[in-house]
Structure 1
Amino acid sequence: MNPLNIILTILLFLSGVLTVILVLMHSGKGTGVSDMIASSLYNAGTGSGILEKNLDRLTVITATVFIVCVIVMALTFPLGAIG
């Protein structure tokens, strides 16, 4: 296995696990883990919007890394190089 594929496999695993964890942390109807964290760290009215925005950004970033890893691995896995 090529070192590129090993690195991509590790990134794929880590980004997949992080994406699942971050998605589960999103609040659905006010009963999510992020609401529990926000209510314990801040008052109910302050900070929760910032926490949700940062959680959204992290989720998008990890999902994008996951998708890019899947695409690059689909192109390079049989040969170990693009082309």
Structure 2
Amino acid sequence: MTVIQIILIAILVITSLLLTLFILLHKGRGGGLSDMFGGGITSNLGSSGVAERNLNRITIIIALVWFFSVVALGILQRFAF
């Protein structure tokens, strides 16, 4: 296993955990699984429109980093000798 693969695996693990955390931080829209676990009782105390937009941006950036690390690991695995 090369150093690049170890770094990519570490990035993949970290981004996976962060992606899970950021997805769980999103406000529930209602009508889905979030209602089943108490998301139906909403309050506007914890989130604002700007905070939600910033959380969306961060989540998308983390998801792109995760995606490209998966692709890079796949390419390295495919062409490893």
TM-score by length of 2: 0.75
1:39 maps to 45
* CA-atom RMSD in angstroms: 2.4
Q: Identical aligned pairs, as a percentage?
A: 31
TM-score by length of 1: 0.73
Gap regions ≥5 residues in structure 1: 41-46
Which protein has greater RCO, CA pairs closer than 8 Å, 6+ apart?
2
1:15 maps to 15
1:51 maps to 51
Aligned residues: 71
* Off by >3 Å, runs of 4+ in structure 1: 29-32
Deviation of the 1:58 alpha carbon: 0.6
